Chains A and B, each alone.
Chain A
């Protein structure tokens, strides 16, 4: 039912397709949480300032609190619930547990989705503000400094940053080796 206040949209989330009639004001974050009961994605600020709501939209990381659900119509969304396919944890998730990359865990879904998106950006050769040689031919080396810079949109008030960075670097090295 589409009228002045509601729209019919189709969302593909974690490989399942959903038809929804959403309030035009509804954010993607609220649609995931309240309409689809995918509550793994968290609301830390609702203002695009903390990164807790980070999801992958057509493969790119976005803050879902600043994305209206109607804008995501037809898009492919991956949330934290969609990362561990078939119940098997991804290496990044395992590294977070083993290296204790979280305390309260509230920022964690956003950190992990952001890390997955960030590693893909890096693999595609995207430079960051701290990349010194940003010539398009060279993939910048993923140093601690690079990871910190690229992950700075994801706040963690518990202060798990050092082990988050370690978990990401360890995962990226493993992925590089297994390629």
Chain B
């Protein structure tokens, strides 16, 4: 627990506090100049921190073997999402084995709190939280991620395959 310093007779004065702060800055600067390795600050964006590959960052919608979206539009993720930032519109698929699929899947990424509840709720491993954590954008950037961005953005190289496959499940008699 942090101790909150109580005001004392010295803190009524302006200059002692200023000098204390300047002294702190000066000692740290000298330490960093002579021992740069121990410096905790990174020169982002030239230097980047490597998080673990299990870091839960930006969402990925997985795909089936044929490259189409794995999501069945069950809306369990949207139901479970505490930030209510997932919007899904479902529609009827031509293939009766698929039946239902999302025609719109949007995550308002600025409202997302990265809790991972969506990933946990999904019954078919259709949404995952990937290790990618940078979400910069300029003033007019679009922070509502759509299917194109969530499933097929360039660095996913054509999409990440889901671990759950309906055809295999059916073959196994489920």
Question: Is chain B a partner of chain A in the same complex?
Answer: no
Hey, which bits of chain B sit against chain A, CB under 8 A? none
Hey, which bits of chain A sit against chain B, CB under 8 A? none
